Structure 1
Amino acid sequence: MATQSAAPAAGPGSGATGDPKRWLILAVICTAYLMVGLDLTVMNLALPSAQEALEFTNADRQWIVTAYALPFGGLLLFFGRLSDLIGRKETFLIGLTGFAVASAVGGASTNFEMLVTTRACQGAFAAMLAPACLTLLATTFTDPKEKGKAFAIFGAVVASGAGLGLIIGGVLTSGLSWRWCMYVNLIFAGIALVGGMLLLHRQPKTGARMDVPGVLLASGGMFCVVYGFANAADDSWSTPSTWGVLTLGGALLIVFAFWQTRAAHPLLPPRVVLDRNRGGAYLTMLFVGTGLFGVVLFLVYYMQNDLGYSAVTSGVALLPMIVFTTVGAGVGATKLMPRYGPRPLVVAGLLISAAGMTWLTGIGVDSSYAAHLLGPTILVGLGMGFVFAAVMNTGTSGVAPQDAGMASACISTGQQLGGAIGTALLNTIAATATAGWLDSQVQGQPSPEQLHLASIDGYTTVFWWCTAIFVAGAVVAGLLLRRGPLPAPPDAAAENPSEQTETAQS
């Protein structure tokens, strides 16, 4: 029987069967990470209402989103190492408390400056929570079969967070107030905080040390890259604030990579990312983060601006994608991953998602939901479920205890960096395609129908690019990920010698 890799041994309560409260711990972890994922998009539909209430400009509006993304992407590696240094439970509880406080203050904001500051604080505490959640998951479940089920559930939560954020944001903004898009986090944080204090064990110190130069280089480089792409989406690629900052960010990350080969205690040890399976998982998340943005954002634009769906209706229209993400993650992690390993699962998932994006290029002015949107969103959801179930497990597979937090942070970093790239790249592609259609098809003032046709041409161009991104990701994953199931960890084999013998004979 082939088995999956397990993460480093858990703390108290671990063993052959794992912590007796492990499934409750999983619920706590998923609740916390769902909150983090929701806040990537929950404010998007609330921005017009918040702008009217706080009287800030259109130029300022983008900063409500960017202020969350900048510290989130920039601080992930630092907090990943910090969780190894001070403890995963402590990092988890501090991150939850800080996120809750920032959300409460943000909901009570009286001006733009107050709101954008609290969004930045949310992003910083999200960067603390994300790697802690994944590391706690990897160290709580030690049995390979149960680990697969746990990663399936967690992968579905990660993949569906952004879509659920749009649904919840639309419902809260329409039914209550934009402020509840911040206050709702108090519910999630409160549940997870109580559960974390009661259920989580203090894990033994890993002996990790902080690489201060590495922190400064990595955080500065990631901050510049995320900011540069965000600025490109809002302004232009030709401005110094875009290409200059991107160049600086790239240079800092190159210096960071060189320093990691020389540092006595590197922030991101090369052994973590040079493993083919883990490196392939991190790169896969980069492609997924880039391409998935096209589904979540531009499909919502199309439904609301061209089909006339309300914010709530467009959010509900994405529910099949979320449902099939859960189905794909469950089947992938529990049935396919133990037998075939991550490579066929990731490649198939990306190609299925690419097929869904290709289907979406057939949309028009009068497309119906059942004929033109339901099928593609189901395919994308199913494919993403396969991918997330495999990547979450593979990216934390086989790492030493002192590197577990960093391995988890690398997964989230790939997703966040991909989202930043997708925001800038796909917005630019859509705007260019729309303008090009109007220049070639319209003389004089365009009619409303021509404006719809132009915008749809921009959306379909984006969907073709998303198809190409997913196919490219499938090629990269197929080349990097190793064939066959993940190797069983030494401690699991030692604890279950009969299973080790059975594995060797199969």
Structure 2
Amino acid sequence: MIVLDITVMNVALPRIQTDLHFSPTGLSWVMNSYSVVFGGLLLLGGRAGDLFGRRALFIAGAALFTAASLAGGLAPTAGWLLAARVVQGIGGAMAAPNTLALLTTSFPDPKARMRVLAWFSGMSSAGFAIGLIVGGLLTEWLSWRSVLFINVPFGLVVVVLAVLNLPAAQREPAHLDLPGAVTATTGVATLAYGFISAASHGWGDPVTDITLAIGAGLLAAFLVIESRTAQPLLPLRLFTDRNRAAAYTNIFLVPMAGMSMFFFLTQFLQDVLGLSALATGFAFLPTAVLMFTMIRLIPRLLPRFGPQPVTMTGAVAMTAGLILLTTLTAHSGYFPVLFAAMLLLGCGIGLSVSPLNVIIMSNVEPHEAGAAGGALQTLQQTGASLGLAILVTVFGTAARDAGGTAQHALVGGMTVAFAVAAGIAALAFVVALTFRTRQR
């Protein structure tokens, strides 16, 4: 529900703009207000769950997210909707990292833990593709408000089932690292804002440069604070394990490359192929199906082959899919190139991402599960924001240089962006080589 909300709004944006009279630049903040707050608070939400109780943070976050979804669906003005999206981001940041921590600590058996973490990873990855399908269906059949209202019944069920079934989690006798919390939250949020500004205004824009410099400085200060704090917000020893460090690196790189598919292909399907919002959503069905298939396979593949060959195969499939997208032209249809690329990317993202959650969370200390989950999701969110900013800038430059008709320029910019994304996916393959081979 939380990950789906990142993409489900995309298809509804044109109708939101018409109904609530957003300006073209203001409309982007329907997405960005959620992303900045969600990304900025993930580390704090994870560590707060470790200290104050993951069950309580999870239930409160899910309830807040649900209430904000209802308020957003009822929004009479643009400002109301943006405020609701900010509150959604706060609720999401409370619930998401504690979801991972609760799964990790509730399943002590390694096989069961691997299975549930693979399910979690597959569900969150597929949420990006499913969001486009659900957004297309609801926007076409009902209205844009329904993409927010749909969270309400699911959110209520989640809260009720959590109250009835989740055991009370043990609280750690510790204090919250407030200097770390302030520098981490403001640093990640500032970086996210800088990446969004880069995507909108380019890397040479003064606001972009200043914001990114401030964000980088705050994160550097955060790392210094964490290295000197007895009870840090993010224990740096989480990165000393080689496999976990490589998994953290790839959880940053894979969304950098993968987000380009959802962002640019949505435009290609609607602006070049002329598909409706509903048809655009269903065009991503092969990707979603392959991701769900990988959910079923990962618990069998990972114990048998180990993380290295599984993640390497995923990175190769993802790279191949992105390379295939570089062959698109203004006259390309959905079959065969686009369909084949969708299959490869669904397989690649599923195999590349699903093992990473298992690797990161499987042997983490229980009292640090929230921090580990918060770091995982922060890197994932930051990687997606940075990747989109880089690729949108590449797209804009290439589209201007392509010349010709508007469609020719659009597709020309996209293919160059896909080539850069393929390079990032290839880098994820290189990182996958550093995983330890399976020990018999």
Q: Same fold (TM over 0.5)?
A: yes
1:105 aligns with 2:44: no
CA contact (8 A) 2:114 2:362 kept: no
CA contact (8 A) 1:77 1:409 kept: yes
CA contact (8 A) 1:152 1:326 kept: no
CA contact (8 A) 1:208 1:402 kept: no
1:463 aligns with 2:428: no
1:454 maps to 409
Tell me by how many angstroms 1:343 deviates.
Answer: 2.0
How many equivalent residue pairs? 440
1:419 aligns with 2:355: no
CA contact (8 A) 1:304 1:311 kept: yes
Bigger Rg, which one? 1
The match for 1:177 among 140, 143, 161 is: 143
CA root-mean-square deviation? 1.3
CA distance in 2, matches of 1:320, 1:151: 23
CA distance in 1, matches of 2:368, 2:115: 23
CA contact (8 A) 2:12 2:135 kept: yes
CA distance in 2, matches of 1:58, 1:160: 29
1:57 aligns with 2:31: no
The match for 1:266 among 212, 229, 232 is: 232
CA contact (8 A) 1:84 1:208 kept: no
Write out per-residue CA displacement over residues 202-240 of structure 1, whole angstroms, 9 at most, x where no aligned residue. Answer: 122233431000001111110110000011112232222
Q: Go from structure 1 to structure 2 and tell me whether the alpha carbon gap of 1:208 and 1:318 turns closer, same or farther (over 3 Å shift).
A: farther
1:339 aligns with 2:304: yes
1:380 maps to 345
Runs of 5+ in structure 1 lacking a partner?
A: 1-34, 443-449, 486-505
Equivalent residue letter for 1:461: V
Matches within 5 A, 1:183-222: 183-222=149-188
Write out per-residue CA displacement over residues 104-154 of structure 1, whole angstroms, 9 at most, x where no aligned residue. Answer: 111111111111111011111111111011111112222222222222222
Structure-1-length-normalised TM-score: 0.85
CA contact (8 A) 2:254 2:353 kept: no
1:165 aligns with 2:131: yes
2:287 maps to 321
CA distance in 1, matches of 2:123, 2:56: 23
1:494 maps to none
The match for 1:144 among 104, 107, 110 is: 110
Tell me by how many angstroms 1:103 deviates.
Answer: 0.7
CA distance in 2, matches of 1:472, 1:466: 10
2:269 maps to 303
Structure-2-length-normalised TM-score: 0.97
1:484 maps to 438
CA distance in 2, matches of 1:346, 1:191: 34
CA distance in 1, matches of 2:48, 2:341: 41
Tell me by how many angstroms 1:341 deviates.
Answer: 1.9
1:358 maps to 323
Runs of 5+ in structure 2 lacking a partner?
A: none
1:391 maps to 356
CA contact (8 A) 1:360 1:463 kept: yes
CA distance in 1, matches of 2:11, 2:283: 15
Equivalent residue letter for 2:224: F
Tell me by how many angstroms 1:431 deviates.
Answer: 0.9
Deviates more, 1:314-323 or 1:470-479: 470-479
Question: Equivalent pairs: percent with the same residue?
Answer: 36
CA distance in 2, matches of 1:176, 1:460: 34
1:252 maps to 218
2:34 maps to 68
The 3-state SS of whatever aligns with 1:36 is coil
2:365 maps to 400
CA contact (8 A) 2:137 2:278 kept: yes
CA distance in 2, matches of 1:269, 1:253: 14
